[in-house]
Structure 1
Amino acid sequence: MWYNPVPILNLRGDCNLNGILNLNKPKGITAHDAVAKVRRLAGTKRVGHAGTLDPAATGVLPICIGAATRVVEYLSDADKAYRASIALGLATPSYDLETPPSVIVENGELARRSALTITELEVLLQTFVGPQMQTPPMYSALHVGGQRLYELARAGKEVERAARSITIYSLKLLSFAPLMIGDTAYPTLEVDIECSKGTYIRSLAVDIGARLRAPAVLAALTRTRSGPFRLEDAHTLEALAEAAQEGQLADLLYPTDYALTDLPRVELSLDDERRIRMGQTIPADSAAAEGTLARAYSTDGLFVAILRLQAQRWQPDKVFNPDLAPSPISGEG
């Protein structure tokens, strides 16, 4: 279950921001570009993003500032949700519309694909739900032999990529209608997807096309959720710039531990807190599996640490300095 507290004011002022911004990334910029813009607005270099988005994609991009950069790795591991448009009848090297088409089918074939029924498509999409192995596209930021795959792809090279384990939790068809790409109308599926980290929606689009025996591309993509951060609560860069100009950027920050709301909560006694802050372990009153992560809070509601269960003891994974106010989510169940 996800929680949605009201973003809190960072009482330290904009000169020392700590927290997470829920950015609605626009089309045409990289996640790195977005981070650079937020660095200028926040006046700090300590900024990072959690879970990259392709330049052509839009939607939720959590931006961590200050001490919150220490939870980037946990937030990047969170499940994601997307709305995607998958066009049938053409293929590109990048699996999207960022490179010129390499395959375009004839009008007769397009007509045949347009004749697919909603029921047929819904049945087919359900075959993609569940754990599976997925091969990343050549146009991706993964490293192979010390080079990013997209650098090799732009040089005209293709290398073998190891398939990776992913999970599609749900895949829902919203519509099946023509989409104009250039001067041609291509039959296009609009779908909502919930998936695990590391899922390439471009690869999923191509795989869906292959199952339909048709070339396919990802025509549009919006991330609607990343962990607990949702599109309906996201802010544009323009809104962030306006808030920064008015000295109110801190008002839009979520607390650092908001990124961890899917983890179990551990309440620390005064002695437990002292031990954790010293890097020591404490007994765990938990039947959770080895390696389970948890978020720990002090007796007065301050977020203290991320803990890891080892041999039935909680050991500190990361410890955080005391904040000026209790976390607004520390008391939820």
Structure 2
Amino acid sequence: MISPTPQAPVRRPTAADGFVVVDKPEGWTSHDVVGRMRRLAGTRKVGHAGTLDPMATGVLVLGIGKATRLLTYVVGADKDYDATIRLGVATTTDDAEGQVLSVAGPGAVERVDRAALDAGIADLTGDIQQVPTSVSAIKVDGKRAYALVRAGESVELEARPVTVSRFEVLAVRPATATVPDELPARDVPVVDVDVRVTVSSGTYVRALARDLGAALGTGGHLTALRRTRVGGYDLAGARTLEQLEAQADADGTLATLPMAEAARATFPVRELDEDEVRALGYGQWVTPSGRPEVVAALSPSGTLVALLEDTRRRGDDLAKPVLVLAAR
């Protein structure tokens, strides 16, 4: 007997253009979350603002439909993380998913006191030069660094300027860790340091763990990472995938943060009059906003019309549309 052909899943109604802030679960890649959101939102036009490693959890900002065009501005925002740094063991990936590179010598971890820890953190705070982790997505000769590392190649990345505006110790906990990459496996003393950091775009928290361990002579890597904020979006406004699916099932359509509200959380806002709305709809320039950064321009009814940037043209100060979202 021939079994019936399975029916394709019913496509959900397309969600409105806007943002969805997800509390990403551990073990999922950012691409996995995008794939799930495409099914929930009933559209393939879904993107994310800033990758989170599978080990990491927390705030992942997704754009749906036209809102994907705003994501490039969210990527560059500063971010908050809660993390746990383990001193005493260094790994190939600077986190718990990598193989053990080295284990601190006898007594090295025990000699790390709070004064030394605070001094090491102070040196990694402010405007610093950071060498990205070797398993980053940075391209080297056209290939991702992590792909080269996994293929067994040695990768050397150049230091780049980043800003660590906050590097706060929340707790220090002596512990014991099993080193599985040695035969036989053995337990070694470690120190787990719970921290809270605020960093600029492009900063690798894993690299902070690596560099702190190197400075203290113990080696170090990240064992936990939770992103609590990206720009104007934080955990208070984030929902789990289970919550999002339950909402979409109950209401029939995935709810999104409307474009205008998403813009208010990302940009300074400029209120337009109807003449300016009409001009921008045709791609024309308008009077300057008087701000150095990109601003969100809203219509009198609250619709996001365009993103504007002040510039000079033929000796006049004007605001040009860098992105028009409500064209005539």
Into which bin does the TM-score normalised by the smaller protein fall?
0.7 to 0.9
**TM-score of the superposed pair, with normalisation by structure 1:** 0.86
**TM-score of the superposed pair, with normalisation by structure 2:** 0.87
Q: 1:319 aligns with which of 312, 324, 328?
A: 324
Instruction: Label 1:246 to 1:17 Cα distance change in 2 as closer, same or farther (>3 A).
Output: same
Q: 1:243 aligns with which of 244, 247, 261?
A: 247
Question: C-alpha separation between the residues in 2 aligned to 1:140 and 1:249?
Answer: 36
Question: C-alpha separation between the residues in 2 aligned to 1:124 and 1:257?
Answer: 43
Instruction: Label 1:283 to 1:29 Cα distance change in 2 as closer, same or farther (>3 A).
Output: same
SS at match of 1:41: helix
Instruction: Label 1:159 to 1:53 Cα distance change in 2 as closer, same or farther (>3 A).
Output: same
Q: Which string of whole-angstrom CA distances, capped at 9 and with x for unpartnered residues, describes residues 248-293 of structure 1?
A: 5544x2122444434222221211111111111112152x33xx21
- CA shift, 1:245, in A, is 1.7
Task: Look up the match of 1:256.
Answer: 259
Task: Look up the match of 1:209.
Answer: 213
CA contact (8 A) 2:23 2:58 kept: yes
SS at match of 1:112: coil
CA contact (8 A) 1:26 1:59 kept: yes
Task: Look up the match of 2:305.
Answer: 304
Instruction: Label 1:317 to 1:180 Cα distance change in 2 as closer, same or farther (>3 A).
Output: farther
Q: Which string of whole-angstrom CA distances, capped at 9 and with x for unpartnered residues, describes residues 34-58 of structure 1?
A: 1001111111101111110011111
Q: 2:227 aligns with which of 219, 223, 227?
A: 223
**Higher Rg:** 2
Question: C-alpha separation between the residues in 2 aligned to 1:163 and 1:195?
Answer: 16
CA contact (8 A) 2:74 2:266 kept: no
Aligned length: 303
- For residue 326 of structure 2, what is the amino acid of its counterpart? N
SS at match of 1:151: helix
- CA shift, 1:14, in A, is 4.3
Residues 1:45 and 2:44 are matched in the alignment: yes
Consecutive unaligned residues of structure 2, counting only runs of 5 or more, are 1-11, 179-186
Residues 1:293 and 2:297 are matched in the alignment: no
SS at match of 2:109: helix
Q: What are the equivalent positions in structure 2 for 1:66-105 lying under 5 Å apart?
A: 66-105=65-104
Task: Look up the match of 1:330.
Answer: none
- For residue 300 of structure 1, what is the amino acid of its counterpart? S
Instruction: Label 1:306 to 1:239 Cα distance change in 2 as closer, same or farther (>3 A).
Output: same
Question: C-alpha separation between the residues in 2 aligned to 1:151 and 1:273?
Answer: 47
- Divergent runs of 4+, >4 A: none
Question: C-alpha separation between the residues in 2 aligned to 1:197 and 1:176?
Answer: 27
Consecutive unaligned residues of structure 1, counting only runs of 5 or more, are 1-12, 323-333
Instruction: Label 1:228 to 1:176 Cα distance change in 2 as closer, same or farther (>3 A).
Output: same
Question: C-alpha separation between the residues in 2 aligned to 1:107 and 1:16?
Answer: 58
Question: C-alpha separation between the residues in 1 aligned to 2:175 and 2:56?
Answer: 17
Question: C-alpha separation between the residues in 2 aligned to 1:203 and 1:37?
Answer: 30
CA contact (8 A) 1:228 1:258 kept: no
Task: Look up the match of 1:147.
Answer: 143
Task: Look up the match of 1:160.
Answer: 156
SS at match of 2:27: coil
- For residue 255 of structure 1, what is the amino acid of its counterpart? P
Question: C-alpha separation between the residues in 1 aligned to 2:303 and 2:28?
Answer: 36
Question: C-alpha separation between the residues in 2 aligned to 1:191 and 1:249?
Answer: 39
Question: C-alpha separation between the residues in 2 aligned to 1:218 and 1:16?
Answer: 37
- CA shift, 1:29, in A, is 1.3
- For residue 275 of structure 2, what is the amino acid of its counterpart? D
CA contact (8 A) 1:75 1:259 kept: no
Instruction: Label 1:185 to 1:256 Cα distance change in 2 as closer, same or farther (>3 A).
Output: farther
SS at match of 1:15: coil
